[in-house]
């Protein structure tokens, strides 16, 4: 059950999280010119989106486990 909850929360946060917020956070920190900078920028956005989604999914599973212990 915990794995299913993790997958649901991870998928929901991955698709529902506005990418513009993450892009605005990363935009000023990527330097360079041309294709290399764009590749780095896109990778950073995808990596941050994955990390935030996983973090929210772990928190959701932790809260589920805490609620069932009571």
pLDDT in tens, 23-62: 888 887 777 777 777 788 888 888 899 999 999 999 999 9
> Can you tell me whether residue 46 is helix, strand or coil?
helix
d(CA 35, CA 30): 12
Q: Residue 45 sits in which domain range?
A: 2-69
pTM: 0.76
> Residue 21 phi/psi, 5° resolution?
-65, -45
Number of domains in the chain: 1
């Amino acid at each position: 059950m915990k794995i299913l909850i993790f997958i649901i929360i991870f998928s929901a946060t991955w698709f529902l999280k506005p990418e513009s917020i993450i892009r605005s956070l990363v935009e000023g920190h990527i330097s360079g010119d041309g294709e290399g900078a764009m590749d780095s920028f896109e990778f950073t956005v995808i990596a941050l989106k994955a990390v935030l989604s996983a973090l929210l999914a772990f928190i959701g599973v932790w809260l589920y486990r805490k609620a069932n212990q009571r």
